[in-house]
Structure 1
Amino acid sequence: MLETLLIRSRAVPPEPPRRRGATSLEPGRDRFGVLKAVLSAVPWLQVGLGLTVLLLAAMLPWAGDRLLAAMDQQILAVDVDGNFVGESRVGIERAASAWIGKSYFATDLAEIKAELEQRPWVASAAVKRVWPGRLEIDIRERKPLAYWTDGRLVSRSGELFSPPNPEVAGSLPRLAGPDERVREVIDMARSMSERLVDYGLGFASLELEQRGAWTLSLSNGIEVVLGRDQVQKRFERFITVYEDRLASRVDEVSRIDARYSNGVAVQWKADAAGAAPKS
């Protein structure tokens, strides 16, 4: 009996021995599987391109500064262009010579422009760089329209300016009045001048007094007093009387007062006073 049992017990195979410290893993539970799946889902090409762009963008200002520093040099010459009447080309060139020797890139062109436009005759200045070491300056002068009070000039755009050489403007009409009413005086002068041309009369000057009275002077020396009220109506009355009664004797007239409601008062020159007709 004992022998039979022993034989049967030997028929059962023993369990294989396990190595100390070893652990068995199932194939579906690989602990690196999740990490591999995450890494495989990342678009590495796009990420690489993005990082490259960011790196280049960060380096661009630095590289630009380095490039400009390497290319920078001194301003070697300044070219001045423009049609000069009141301003002097030589004077502009002398003023511009202050920037020769300065940095080509670091020089502030707006500063040059502002400094040049402080000169009385300069209406505007355009400044640009010309590689490798030149500046070009284009000057536009103020165009004088008339002489103004106290020897100043008034430009066609209505700007008052005081150049040191106003006489270079040549033969111009004279306007006068409060500075704050300069545009009003210009508009009135233009209107009257256009009407006078139709009758062969030249415009010489127009004055607006502080109290508001207007006085017109013609190029033939006749003074026309228009007063403060209804100035345009009085001017038209003068034109009518001149055309009807005075055109043939214009050389004998010294002064016309148009401040009357129904006519004008004529002051004749001294040598014609005795034969002057009534108006």
Structure 2
Amino acid sequence: MLETLLIRSRAVPPEQPRRRGATSVDSGRDRFGVLRAVLAAVPWFQVGLGASIVLLAAMVPWATDRLLTAMDQQIVAVDVRGEFVGDSRIEVERSVGAWVGKSYFATDLAEIKSELERRPWVASAAIKRVWPGRLEIDIREKKPLAYWTDGRLVSRSGELFSPPNPEVAGRLPRLAGPDVRVREVIAMARSMSDQLAGFGLGFAGLSVEQRGAWTLTLSNGIEVVLGRDQVEQRFERFITVYENRLAARVDEVSRVDVRYSNGVAVQWKPEAGIAAPKS
């Protein structure tokens, strides 16, 4: 019996030892499985959307250029609008006529604007394209306020300019002084002009010397010497003296000097036959 058991035990092959954690799979199937897992993990929708956006972004400049090239025309007309007093509409139109025949899209509007605003009378120029082949230009001229030292003009905004034809501005007050004080002179002139109008007197001019002495000229020819100090107070004193003492004889007055502390000195016209007393 013992012999039989031993024979049976030899008939059963011994079991091979196994490694813990190890598996045995086919190597080809394993590679394709990993590939499928990787492909399944990729967000294909987002990838496709991103690629489409990149492609469109690359095509937009090209498509835009092709579209503009197809739509581009030559400039066939330039319309100039605005009120012209100092400048000539014909001269302006002749100047901008150089752009007729140029590319509608490629023409630099800033260049046209810059060239027009170099003209002495032009304050500003606005240019716009009008499809299919026109440019519209709106011109705004400088508005002269007065004649300035040495024949130049000063605009209402305080800009000094030298057009070749300042006389077209017509009859204007005359202001004078150092260029750096132009705005100060304008402000003083406006204040005095408003006050004089209340007494029926017209404003003709105002000047300030390099050393700061002010002189006012009325439209009736009377010269009012104001000096350097307390100019506003001295002007008020002149108004008071004029209202109380000079209004009735204004045609006989040539010059009024208000630089005195307690009065004024009046210079009469020669034909009045009166000395120049202090008032």
Interval containing the TM-score (normalised by the shorter chain): 0.7 to 0.9
Which residue does the alignment assign to 1:39?
39
Q: CA 1:225/1:276 → structure 2, altered by over 3 Å: closer, same or farther?
A: closer
Deviations 1:180-236 (A, max 9, x none): 111111011011111101111000000111221111000011000111111111111
Give the C-alpha shift of residue 30 in structure 1: 3.5
Give the C-alpha shift of residue 276 in structure 1: 7.0
Gaps of 5+ in 2: 1-23
Which residue does the alignment assign to 1:18?
none
Taking the aligned partners of 2:25 and 2:175, their CA distance within structure 1 comes to 109
SS of the equivalent of 1:32 reads helix
Which residue does the alignment assign to 2:9?
none
Give the C-alpha shift of residue 144 in structure 1: 0.5
Which residue does the alignment assign to 1:145?
145
Which residue does the alignment assign to 2:81?
81
8 A contact 2:75–2:103 mirrored in 1: yes
Taking the aligned partners of 1:30 and 1:177, their CA distance within structure 2 comes to 98
Deviations 1:112-145 (A, max 9, x none): 0000000000000001111101111000110100
Which residue does the alignment assign to 1:112?
112
Deviating beyond 2 angstroms after TM superposition, the runs of 4 or more aligned structure 1 residues are: 24-27, 273-278
Q: CA 1:179/1:201 → structure 2, altered by over 3 Å: closer, same or farther?
A: same
Taking the aligned partners of 1:114 and 1:135, their CA distance within structure 2 comes to 15
SS of the equivalent of 1:243 reads helix
Taking the aligned partners of 1:276 and 1:225, their CA distance within structure 2 comes to 15
Which residue does the alignment assign to 2:49?
49
Which residue does the alignment assign to 2:272?
272
The 10-residue stretch of structure 1 (96-105 or 61-70) with the greater mean CA deviation from structure 2? 61-70
| Identical counterparts, % of pairs | 80
8 A contact 2:265–2:276 mirrored in 1: no
8 A contact 2:75–2:99 mirrored in 1: yes
Which residue does the alignment assign to 1:154?
154
Taking the aligned partners of 1:150 and 1:274, their CA distance within structure 2 comes to 36
TM-score (structure 2 length as normaliser): 0.88
Root-mean-square deviation over aligned CA pairs = 1.8
Taking the aligned partners of 2:275 and 2:67, their CA distance within structure 1 comes to 90
Deviations 1:229-268 (A, max 9, x none): 1111111111111111111111111100011000100001
The 10-residue stretch of structure 1 (39-48 or 262-271) with the greater mean CA deviation from structure 2? 39-48
For residues 129-144 of structure 1, what are the structure 2 equivalents within 5 Å? Answer: 129-144=129-144
Which residue does the alignment assign to 1:5?
none
Give the C-alpha shift of residue 156 in structure 1: 0.3
Give the C-alpha shift of residue 90 in structure 1: 0.9
Taking the aligned partners of 1:233 and 1:200, their CA distance within structure 2 comes to 20
Which residue does the alignment assign to 2:94?
94
Which residue does the alignment assign to 2:211?
211
Taking the aligned partners of 1:25 and 1:239, their CA distance within structure 2 comes to 117
8 A contact 2:72–2:105 mirrored in 1: yes
Give the C-alpha shift of residue 154 in structure 1: 0.2
Taking the aligned partners of 2:26 and 2:55, their CA distance within structure 1 comes to 45
Which residue does the alignment assign to 2:10?
none
Gaps of 5+ in 1: 1-23
Give the C-alpha shift of residue 275 in structure 1: 7.5
